Structure 1
């Protein structure tokens, strides 16, 4: 038996096995990719691009960050405000509020006047 004859039988066996088990071949996958590319091109030709849609939409205002909310409350009290006032105005839980105040203090946006009293720099 020649090597080409053996390899030819082996390839036929593999192809038959793939067909019987319904396993896609590389060719099948390549054909699916081509069809998907054609479908995508068709969709993009019939619909405006997403960039154009974004330009046409009116921008919704961004939600303020928690840090900026706390900073605005502290700004409203030039003489300084306490932790309870900030908590009541924001509704944030203790841990979140303490972390925000810690970050604002470390970035030198506020200063601690005394224990629990904060003022904008």
Structure 2
């Protein structure tokens, strides 16, 4: 028996086994990947109808941080915690967390205890 005959028989045996056990081949997987790529392109493709839907939307609300930042910005010399709380209506904990984050990312500066201004 020649080596090529043996290898052909072996390949045929493997193909038959894969087929009977319903195991996908490399070619099958490649075809599936190609089809998935096409589907992803269709999903992420920009449709003109989706643009028209977005035009009718109302603008998004400002975030709590941007509201606090704008109130602090209205007072160039700085403003205190009470004024910010009265203007926003936020509870103490929420307001303290917002002020802490804004200070941490260097959007505002703590002038003295309870007094903040925009950098």
Cα distance change of structure 1 residues 33 and 102 upon mapping to structure 2, 3 Å threshold:
closer
Q: Which TM-score applies when normalising by structure 2? A: 0.63
Q: CA offset at residue 27 of structure 1? A: 3.3
Q: Deviations over 1:36-71 (max 9, x none)?
A: 38x85xxx6xxxx63423432315424434442212
Q: Deviations over 1:71-90 (max 9, x none)?
A: 21113445532224435624
Gaps of 5+ in 2: none
- Residue 27 (structure 1) aligns with: 27
Write out aligned runs for 1:1-121 (5 A). 1-32=1-32, 36=35, 50-56=46-52, 57-58=54-55, 60-77=58-75, 80-87=78-85, 89=88, 90-91=90-91, 92-103=94-105, 106-107=106-107, 110-120=108-118
Q: Equivalents in 2 of 1:24, 1:118: separation in Å? A: 65
> Does the Cα contact within 8 Å between 2:78 and 2:111 map onto a contact in 1?
yes
Cα distance change of structure 1 residues 29 and 86 upon mapping to structure 2, 3 Å threshold:
same
> Does the Cα contact within 8 Å between 1:87 and 1:94 map onto a contact in 2?
no
- The number of aligned residues is 108
Cα distance change of structure 1 residues 112 and 25 upon mapping to structure 2, 3 Å threshold:
closer
Cα distance change of structure 1 residues 73 and 13 upon mapping to structure 2, 3 Å threshold:
same
Q: Which TM-score applies when normalising by structure 1? A: 0.62
